[in-house]
Chains A and B, each alone.
Chain A
Amino acid sequence: MNVLREIRLPGVQLSGTATVAMLVAAVVVNSALQPNFWSAYALTSNFATFVPLVAIAVGQTIVVLSGGIDLSLGAQVTLSAVAAVQLLDGRLDRLPLAVAAALGVGLACGALNGLVVALLRLQPIVATFATSFVFSGLALVVLPTPGGSVPIEVTTVYRDAVLGVPVALLAILGLALLWWVLRRHRVLRHVYAVGGDPEAAYASLVPVARTRVLAYVLGGLFAALAALAVLANTGSGDPFVGNELTLASVAAVVLGGTALAGGRGGAGGSILGAIVLALVTNIVFFADVPTTYRQLVNGAVIILALALAGIPALQKRRPAA
Chain B
Amino acid sequence: MSAPTVEAPRRVLSWRPGPVALAGAIAVALVIAGELVSPGFAGYGQLVNLMRVAAFLGVIAIGQTIVIIAGGGGVDLSVGKVATFAAIIGSRVMAGDDGDLVPAVALALAVAAAIGLVNGLGVTLLRIPPFVMTLGMIGVVQGLILAYTGGQASGRAAPALTSLVNGRLIFDLPGLLFLWAALGLLAVWLLRRTTFGWNLFAVGANRTAAELSGVRADRTLIVAYVLSATFAGLGGILLLGYTESVFLDLADQYMLPSVAAVVIGGTMLAGGIGGYAGTAVGAIVLTVLQGLLTTLDIGGAGRTVVNGVVLLVLLSLYGRQRRLRS
B residues near A132, Cβ cutoff 8 Å: 308
Contact of A251 among B135, B149, B311 (CB under 8 A): B135
Name the residue in B135, B149, B303, B325 with the highest tally of chain A Cβ atoms < 10 Å from its Cβ: B135
B residues near A251, Cβ cutoff 8 Å: 132, 135-136
Q: How far is the CB of A106 from chain B (nearest CB, A)?
A: 17
Q: How far is the CB of B110 from chain A (nearest CB, A)?
A: 19
Question: Is B24 positioned at the interface, with any CB of A under 8 Å from its CB?
Answer: no
Interface of B is mostly: helix
Tell me whether A295 and B139 are in contact (CB under 8 A): yes
A residues near B141, Cβ cutoff 8 Å: 299
* Contacts A121-B323, A130-B308, A133-B311 given; does A302 touch B139 at CB 8 Å: yes
Question: Is B14 positioned at the interface, with any CB of A under 8 Å from its CB?
Answer: no
The residue in chain B whose Cβ has the minimal distance to the Cβ of A194 is: B324
Question: Is B319 positioned at the interface, with any CB of A under 8 Å from its CB?
Answer: yes
Q: How far is the CA of A135 from the CA of B217 in the complex (A)?
A: 40
A residues near B203, Cβ cutoff 8 Å: 321
The residue in chain B whose Cβ has the minimal distance to the Cβ of A136 is: B304
Tell me whether B312 and A127 are in contact (CB under 8 A): yes
Q: How far is the CB of B145 from chain A (nearest CB, A)?
A: 8
B residues near A141, Cβ cutoff 8 Å: 301-302, 305
B residues near A296, Cβ cutoff 8 Å: 140, 143-144, 146-147
Tell me whether A120 and B316 are in contact (CB under 8 A): yes
A residues near B304, Cβ cutoff 8 Å: 133-134, 136-137, 140
Q: How far is the CA of A199 from the CA of B326 in the complex (A)?
A: 10
Name the segment of B89-97, B120-128, B226-234, B236-244 touching the other chain.
B120-128
A-B pair number, CB within 8 angstroms: 165
The interface on chain A, measured as residues whose beta carbon lies within 8 A of the other chain's beta carbons, has a size of 54
* Contacts A141-B301, A260-B131, A298-B139 given; does A126 touch B315 at CB 8 Å: yes
Q: How far is the CB of B269 from chain A (nearest CB, A)?
A: 5
Question: Is A223 positioned at the interface, with any CB of B under 8 Å from its CB?
Answer: no
Tell me whether B132 and A250 are in contact (CB under 8 A): yes
A residues near B131, Cβ cutoff 8 Å: 69, 125, 250, 260
Name the residue in A120, A137, A138 with the highest tally of chain B Cβ atoms < 10 Å from its Cβ: A137
The residue in chain A whose Cβ has the minimal distance to the Cβ of B137 is: A303
Name the segment of A7-15, A146-154, A170-178, A310-318 touching the other chain.
A310-318
Question: Is B259 positioned at the interface, with any CB of A under 8 Å from its CB?
Answer: yes
Q: How far is the CB of B109 from chain A (nearest CB, A)?
A: 21
Tell me whether A306 and B143 are in contact (CB under 8 A): no
* Contacts A125-B269, A126-B319 given; does A310 touch B127 at CB 8 Å: yes
Q: How far is the CA of A130 from the CA of B301 in the complex (A)?
A: 14
The residue in chain A whose Cβ has the minimal distance to the Cβ of B311 is: A130
Question: Is B67 positioned at the interface, with any CB of A under 8 Å from its CB?
Answer: no
Question: Is A319 positioned at the interface, with any CB of B under 8 Å from its CB?
Answer: yes
B residues near A71, Cβ cutoff 8 Å: 256
Question: Is A4 positioned at the interface, with any CB of B under 8 Å from its CB?
Answer: no
Question: Is B83 positioned at the interface, with any CB of A under 8 Å from its CB?
Answer: no
Question: Is A129 positioned at the interface, with any CB of B under 8 Å from its CB?
Answer: yes
Contact of A306 among B128, B217, B256, B308 (CB under 8 A): B128
B residues 106-165 near A (Cβ < 8 Å) are 122, 126-129, 131-133, 135-144, 146-147, 149-151
Q: How far is the CB of A291 from chain B (nearest CB, A)?
A: 8
Question: Is A198 positioned at the interface, with any CB of B under 8 Å from its CB?
Answer: yes
Question: Is B177 positioned at the interface, with any CB of A under 8 Å from its CB?
Answer: no
Q: How far is the CB of B296 from chain A (nearest CB, A)?
A: 14
Question: Is A122 positioned at the interface, with any CB of B under 8 Å from its CB?
Answer: yes
Contact of B315 among A122, A144, A300 (CB under 8 A): A122
Q: How far is the CA of A253 from the CA of B132 in the complex (A)?
A: 10
A residues near B150, Cβ cutoff 8 Å: 292
Q: How far is the CB of B126 from chain A (nearest CB, A)?
A: 5
The 8 nearest A-B residue pairs measured at CB: A296-B143, A321-B207, A133-B308, A137-B304, A299-B139, A137-B305, A140-B301, A299-B140
Give B contacts to A, CB under 8 Å: 71-73, 75, 122, 126-129, 131-133, 135-144, 146-147, 149-151, 203, 206-208, 217, 256, 259-260, 263, 269, 300-309, 311-312, 315-316, 319-325
Give A contacts to B, CB under 8 Å: 69, 71, 116, 120-123, 125-127, 129-138, 140-141, 144, 198-199, 202, 208, 247, 250-251, 254, 260-261, 291-300, 302-303, 306-307, 310, 313-314, 318-321
List 7 additional contacts besides A122-B312, A303-B140, A321-B72; criterion CB under 8 Å. Answer: A120-B312, A122-B320, A126-B319, A251-B136, A294-B146, A310-B126, A321-B207
**8 A-B contact pairs sorted by A residue (CB < 8 Å):** A123-B315, A123-B319, A125-B259, A130-B309, A135-B308, A260-B132, A294-B146, A300-B143
